[in-house]
Amino acid sequence: MRTGLVVAVSVALAACAIGPNYHPPEVEEPPAFRGEETPAATSIADLPWWEVFRDPVLKGLIEEALAQNYDLRIAASRVEQARYAVGVVRADALPQAGYQGSAERGKFFSVGGNDTHNAFFAALQTAWEIDLWGRIRRATEASLADLYAAEDTRRGVVLSLVTDVAQAYLELRELDLELEIALRTRDSFQDTLDLFERQLRGGVGTKLATSRAEAALANTSATIPDLERRIVAKENQLSILLGRPPGEIARGTSLVEQDFAPEVPAGLPSALLRRRPDVLQSEQNIVAANAQVGVAIANFLPRIGLTALYGGQSSELEDILKSSSEVWSIAASVTGPLFQSGRLYYGYKFDVAAWEASLHAYEGTVLNALAEVSNALVARQKFVAANAELERQVRALQDAVTLSNSRYTGGLANYYEVLEAQQELFPAENALALNRLDSLVSIVQLYRALGGGWQAEEAAHPEQYPLRRDALDKLVPAGGRRAHP
């Protein structure tokens, strides 16, 4: 009865952990993102990635990357490492049991003669450190926060992987478009050069016109090998993201016909802080650092332990289990520091400084997240505005090429006008292609900055992401996301 009372009191005391309880950091949240002055509750980040990116080939590439990418595999393995680390730390709060045994044979020399003896010993033993001050509980909280942080890191890899594949694929399709423009322009310049050479042979052309046409052809042709090189490099980049050897990448919808999700607001800044994996990870670093401060404080206090042993000792092996050979012991111990040359104090100050650093890192991460969303919003708006002007420029230059050809055919102008219009059209078409890419990439970057994609991926494939916070919270009551009671 008395022993049970002691254990109950010890457990109750262990539930009260010394040190500061965790409270979520307070950050100033703007009412809306810069670049979207009218806040909205909905966000493009709430859409699954397969609803944002509609190209069937791109969807297949993203699915392949999520299944095969090595960075994601590494992140998943680190989650498992962190999970097992929690178990290692939690084990310190539970009784430990073991065994020991020995066998000895010796001879004593004395005046009366020699005496040979045997000694056999076997016992079970157990030990338990009563977590009176909550040192082990705080250490478990820190380990659990590390597990949460590892999980958020993996979520960040999922987010980056989805958007990296989408961006690389769009960049590949833009290079395809540039190559198509270059080949078409080269053929046009080749026709021009052929015409000038025929005129020169017929005595109605000039060497100057032929040389200019030849230079324009060579200038355009020189861009083709470089574009082909960049296409191979981009395919190899995508192959690595897909977890496959370098090789060709399938193509789907062209860059011009890419159809993303309809315009959806960015949402509220407060939702961003609950969604972005790097912000969540940074918060867990504060949780872990906060718990480590509690561990450092508990190190100043005495530790109480209980030990018990039961076994047998005999000179004859067959008698070791008999009651006459029984040995047992129960003991309690108290150990604590007296003089540590400042080691515990400096360790405590180190952990406090680490907590302060984690808090500042969180604040910086939040500011960076807000800036990335704003940059993506503004970029989207400006690229769309520029796209309209570039399209107008290309249409005007296409009309100029058509009109100059008509004037040349009608004898109203020489072919210099045609050549000049063609030379202006080529870079204008390339500029439009690049701006189209930038417009699409700005949506990808906004989706990434808002932290979208990973929630729907986890919900769609729970077997691939078995870790759940509600289950992990049972390991340590009120651990991680919630403040301690």
pLDDT in tens, 373-412: 999 999 988 998 998 899 899 999 888 888 887 876 666 7
Helix (H, G, I), strand (E, B) or coil at 332: strand
pLDDT digits (tens, 9 = 90+) for 160-182: 999 999 999 999 999 999 999 99
pLDDT, residue 448, reads 93
Sign of CA dihedral 429, 179, 234, 165: positive
| C-alpha to C-alpha distance for 344 and 381, rounded to whole angstroms | 56
pLDDT, residue 19, reads 85
Sign of CA dihedral 302, 303, 304, 305: negative
| C-alpha to C-alpha distance for 171 and 176, rounded to whole angstroms | 9
| C-alpha to C-alpha distance for 193 and 214, rounded to whole angstroms | 6
In the chain, what are the domain boundaries? 15-93+131-301+343-472
pLDDT at 274 over 50: yes
| C-alpha to C-alpha distance for 171 and 160, rounded to whole angstroms | 16
pLDDT, residue 465, reads 66
CATH class belonging to 15-93+131-301+343-472: mainly alpha
- Give the mean model confidence (pLDDT) for residues 259-270: 76
| C-alpha to C-alpha distance for 159 and 165, rounded to whole angstroms | 10
Are the beta carbons of 265 and 44 closer than 8 angstroms? yes
pLDDT, residue 384, reads 87
Question: Measuring CA to CA, how many Å separate 72 from each of 81, 343, 464?
Answer: 14, 40, 11
pLDDT, residue 436, reads 93
Are the beta carbons of 139 and 295 closer than 8 angstroms? yes
pLDDT digits (tens, 9 = 90+) for 77-92: 999 999 999 989 998 8
Higher pLDDT, residue 479 or 160: 160
| C-alpha to C-alpha distance for 138 and 143, rounded to whole angstroms | 9
pLDDT digits (tens, 9 = 90+) for 211-248: 888 898 999 899 999 999 999 999 999 999 999 999 99
Helix (H) or strand (E) holding 115: strand 113-130
| C-alpha to C-alpha distance for 234 and 129, rounded to whole angstroms | 58
Mean pLDDT check: name the lowest of 21-30, 48-57, 163-172, 450-459.
Answer: 450-459
Amino acid at 455: Q
pLDDT at 2 over 50: no
pLDDT, residue 482, reads 38
User: By CB neighbour count within 10 A (0-12 exposed, 13-18 middle, 19+ buried), where does 322 fall?
Assistant: exposed
In this structure, what token pair is assigned to residue 316?
């004859």
| C-alpha to C-alpha distance for 464 and 467, rounded to whole angstroms | 9
Q: What is the DSSP string of 204-255?
A: SS-HHHHHHHHHHHHHHHHHHHHHHHHHHHHHHHHHHHTTS-S------S-T
pLDDT, residue 467, reads 54
- Give the mean model confidence (pLDDT) for residues 318-331: 78
Higher pLDDT, residue 67 or 466: 67
Look up the pTM and report it: 0.84
Helix (H, G, I), strand (E, B) or coil at 182: helix
Helices (H), 69-120: 70-91
In this structure, what token pair is assigned to residue 187?
């053929």
Return the closest-CA partner of residue 304 out of 330, 339, 335, 331.
335
Helix (H) or strand (E) holding 97: strand 96-110
